[in-house]
Copies of this chain bind each other. A is one copy, B any other.
Amino acid sequence: MKRKITLKQIAQELDVSISTVSKALRNSAEISDDTKQKVQAFAKLYNYRPNNIALSLKNRRTNTIGIIIPEIVHHFFSNVISGVEHVANKRGYNVIIGLSNESFSKEVINMEMLANGSIDGFILSIAKETQKLQDYHHFNETMSQGMPIVMFDRVVAEINCDKVIVDDFNGAKKAVEKLIKNNCKSIALITTNDYVSVGKLRTQGYLEAFEENGITAEPKLILKIDDTLDNETQLDVLENEIEQLFKSNKSIDGVFAVNELYALLAMKVATKLGLEVPEDVQVIGFTDGVLSKHSTPRLTTVRQHAHRMGEMAAQLLIDKLESEYDTIDEEFQTVVIPTELIERESTK
């Protein structure tokens, strides 16, 4: 077991000083060609690579991005990470992940853990609990220490930082308009509680589409699901709620769901109740997920472009990190990623 070789060791072997070795390896003009050759050959032989940690300490930058997300076992978030990683790697950065698990305290702890020198900046999406508690002190604290943050998807107006969001409002609106144009007369909405920012925006898009088309929204057609409990055991509960929605509103001929699972369950329930999709009920979901691609019938969805969001977030962050004049550049931008309606088989 041979430890990685250091400048010091090379210097000793070659009987020169450490700084000479350092300069030789960086091809400094100060060093004679002779020594350079000698040093470089030796370094190559022993596969010398500068130690990242030492560099980080010296340069006060780690070339590492921290990403904090609520969960990773989720198509949307893993896609975002993939986008972040793509840009980060291309620009010479590593990515370190922290999972909040939708918990406020884990989010805080994770951020503190990483903020102590491990990373140069954060990309994050806020945990549900944090959104609920509306306690954002940890974001402000890290930023006041000069560590930039880019928020994506689940953002919050109170924090002044770069943001990347999906056009939830218009995405939802366009989806509902599509249903209206397709002649749906009774369009249900399956959404989450309002404290989830994206759920709220998508709900507003639904309402706006109604308004612009002179339709009055009926509260009984709106099902708000408490998604603090959306794990496996709750699947039946969920399905049941949706079934009740259908049963007490036989008129329903269109459904807009704010995520993939709700949309799929809506299709399932509809089929179970003897309705055909899309003949009797048309369904649209809001997602990048895989379920919709492989469901029967395949689900029409509003695409979020998660991968692109990740790329954009990474780009914003790294640009900020590498902007020399960080005093001037203290204006933040919010990039809106347009959605795209992917028409598949669950709509006419």
Contacts of A112 in B (CB 8 A): 49
How many whole Å from A160's CB to the nearest CB in chain B?
13
A144, B2: Cβ atoms under 8 Å?
yes
B94, A3: Cβ atoms under 8 Å?
no
Cβ-neighbour of A97 out of B1, B75, B97, B113 (below 8 A) = B97
Q: Is A199 an interface residue (CB 8 A)?
A: no
Give the docked Cα–Cα distance between A59 and B4 (Å): 15
Closest to A142 in B: B4
How many whole Å from A348's CB to the nearest CB in chain B?
20
Closest to A92 in B: B113
A116, B3: Cβ atoms under 8 Å?
no
Classify chain A: how many residues form its interface, as a range. Answer: 35 or more
Give the docked Cα–Cα distance between A16 and B1 (Å): 43
Cβ-neighbour of A294 out of B49, B73, B115, B295 (below 8 A) = B295
Contacts of A82 in B (CB 8 A): 71-73, 99
Contacts of A51 in B (CB 8 A): 57, 116-117
Interface string of A313-327 (1 = CB under 8 A from B): 000000000000000
How many whole Å from A151's CB to the nearest CB in chain B?
19
Q: Is A339 an interface residue (CB 8 A)?
A: no
How many whole Å from A43's CB to the nearest CB in chain B?
13
14 contacts between A and B (CB under 8 A): A2-B144, A47-B141, A52-B116, A52-B117, A57-B57, A73-B82, A78-B78, A94-B98, A94-B113, A94-B118, A268-B296, A290-B290, A291-B294, A295-B295
